[in-house]
Amino acid sequence: MVHTSSPPSLSIASTVRLGLFQGSLGFLAVIFAGMLNRVMISELGFPGLLVGGALAFEQFVAPSRILFGQLSDSRPLGGRHRTPYIWLGAALFCGLAVLVVPVIFRLAAARELGDGAAITLGTVLMCALFAAYGLAVSMATTPYLALVIDRTQERERSRAVGIIWCMLTVGIVVGAIVISNSLKGLDGVTDPLVLETVLSRFMVRAALAVMGLTLLATWGIEPALPQVATAKASTEFGSASPARDDAITVPQAWALITSSRQVAVFFVFLVLFTLALFIQDPILESYGADVFGMPIAATASLNAFWGVGTLLGLVLAGWWIVPRLGKYATARLGCQLILASMLLLILCGLVGEVSLLQAVLLLFGLASGIGTNSTLCLMLDLTLPEAAGTFIGVWGLAQAFSRATAKLLGGGLLDLGRAIIPGQGPFLPYALVLGTAALIALAALRVLVAVNVHRFRDDTSRQLTQVLTTELG
């Protein structure tokens, strides 16, 4: 095994440019988790469970993250380990995003006609489309995060993560503003033909912008492998380029993953933390529409308040809170603030004031930023550089699985609340969803106590030594 020297430092400008890819993902997230959610539930009358379930298929394919992480570790394409996977994945998810709108409206037409066969076919097609979209996102994002680790030294990694996740939040804020301004003409419009025409044009422009930002973000960041290493990697089946330290096989990677109980503990924490953060995601804009009477453009702007709060939280955590309190205490604070935010969202629904809802979403964003920054720092501490793609795939699996579950729970609990509390107005079903999120945040706090980075490093270091000894022997 050939060892590389320490990776060169990325300048702040290069890190910001690399973060443009995360920003484009934030932009798409607002479209899928916000605008399309709201249109399907409030304008087209889809059941919440159908919407949440279909969107969850994007995350149900999350186990592929481990595969794509391992592939990018061991199988370079065109002389590079990460960039080709990022580009190919981005091209695929941009193309699939354009197909989403017509599929949704074909299903809406079938539901309007009561055509059972067409409804079944449309539902299957929509779920398959979101699953394919999720595969493409996994193909791009797992190598992308591994690239961040490849191109940064340990001491600067937390700074890079803070910048990149700030860019994700900037993308969410920009997306919310762009959607709000672009779709103002749809306020009060319920005609499916008009909605489909406008949304289809918007999605094409969005996909082209995202693909352009992906190329701009990653061009030239990853150096090409030496020609000798590339030739050897292409001719030796099952071997990775000798230019990398993380050239380990799938069984060896699995042995590293399972060598420490801390991997399972942190996996559970990530699942609960992400659930608490995103269970409101599929119903938030509909909450604004049904309980507060807000139009499409106004509910889209709710993401801007959340995004600004998240950006402030990321910056505060990275520059002030984490250095003073530490990663664990900051993660605990983030979970506590998320719990408080869910309770406040319930209370402001009783009042019905839009300005109060916006203020609470700002606080919720602050909680999200603080919790996310500290959780990501812990995630990097529990990642071995020698198997960066594989470990990032595992943590990505935890987050994707919980986001899928959050979509199902959010939509399903809304339907359940409407079924068991009929005729009491729209508020109580939404309160059921938000109250559940508060309980999950409380559970995340309990699991966080058991996370121990030092034990993880001791366990995995012993296993890594065995792997290296086996290869050299």
CA distance 316 to 145: 22
**Amino acid 52: pLDDT:** 78
**Amino acid 21: pLDDT:** 94
HSE-CB of 117 using CA atoms within 13 angstroms: 0
Please list the pLDDT of the chain residue by residue as tens digits (473 residues).
334 445 556 778 888 899 999 999 988 888 876 778 778 887 788 887 788 788 778 877 877 877 887 788 778 888 888 899 999 999 999 999 999 899 999 999 999 888 888 999 999 999 999 899 989 998 998 888 888 877 877 666 667 777 887 888 788 888 888 887 877 777 667 788 888 888 899 999 999 999 999 999 999 888 877 654 444 444 443 333 444 444 555 566 666 666 677 888 888 898 999 999 989 887 888 898 888 988 877 887 787 888 889 888 888 887 888 888 888 899 999 999 999 999 999 999 998 889 999 999 999 999 998 998 888 888 877 776 666 666 777 777 787 778 878 888 888 898 898 888 876 778 999 999 999 999 999 999 999 988 887 777 676 666 656 654 554 44
**449: its two tokens:** 């106590």
Residue 183 near residue 198, CB atoms below 8 Å: yes
**Amino acid 215: pLDDT:** 95
**Amino acid 314: pLDDT:** 84
Backbone angles phi, psi at 17, to 5 degrees: -65, -45
Global pTM reads 0.69
Give all domains of the chain, ordered by start, each with its CATH number.
Answer: 12-472 (1.20.1250.20)
Q: Which amino acid is at 390?
A: T
For 449, residues 6+ apart whose C-beta sits below 8 A from its C-beta are none
**Amino acid 230: pLDDT:** 43
Task: Identify the bridge partners of residue 80 per DSSP, sorted by sequence position.
Answer: 77
Largest CA-CA distance found in the chain, in angstroms, rounded: 72
Residue 463 near residue 261, CB atoms below 8 Å: no
SS3 80: strand
SS3 63: coil
Reference 383, options 225, 227, 158, 140; nearest CA is: 158
